Amino acid sequence: MTKRHTPVVLAMLACALLTGCSTVEKKTAEVRDSTRMQEGTQQTSSRLLDMTGLKGKVTKPAPGPLPCEGYEGDVIQMIHPWSVYGLPFEELEKAYAAMRRTLPENGWKIVSDGPDTSNAKIPTIVADSPDGEYSAELRLMDNRNDPKTKTKAMLNVTVVSRCFQES
């Protein structure tokens, strides 16, 4: 480095350290109607529930917004976590295994399939919708050996939309 470049490098370093400025460019997100994205997330969740073929109890939270990081401006995504429970573990396990076939048959791309990184090594499938607008994570929870847990088995599903800027 020459003496001529030293002030520039020092200025960039000072900027990064003192003010948090960065030369990393932030991404921009498409503008979307948040109500339509919330409805789309709900519909995607409903289609996934139908694909499981399960008739157990289903938690009722509605989709809601979640901030997206790494974007310019206020960017969010819709998230919809829900679970099917009140069924024998074996029935949930069979539906979970069938989703490996059912998701691709319905145009979904499985991007990850295997145990998560927790100590419990929870079976987890992550898949992207045919249109690329949504991703889903399916987790097969087995709490049969936990005396403290009331719900002994459940299939947890989390659907997230792609990140967008509200219109």
Tell me the per-residue pLDDT of 5-29, one tens digit each, with 9 for 90 and over: 434 333 433 333 333 444 456 788 8
Structure confidence at residue 148 as a pLDDT band (50, 70, 90): confident
Return d(Cα 74, Cα 53) in angstroms, integer. 38
Per-residue pLDDT tens for 62-102? 999 999 999 888 999 999 999 999 999 999 999 999 999 99
Segment 49-70 shows an average pLDDT of 94
Distances (CA, A) of 42 to 14, 57, 62, 88: 47, 17, 7, 26
For residue 92, the Cα-to-chain-centroid distance in whole angstroms is: 21
Lowest-pLDDT range of 53-62, 97-106, 145-154: 145-154
Is 164 exposed, middle or buried, given 0-12, 13-18 or 19+ CB atoms closer than 10 A? buried
Give the pLDDT mean for 133-159. Answer: 88
| pLDDT exceeds 70 at position 44 | yes
**What are residue 129's phi and psi, to 5 degrees?**
-65, 160
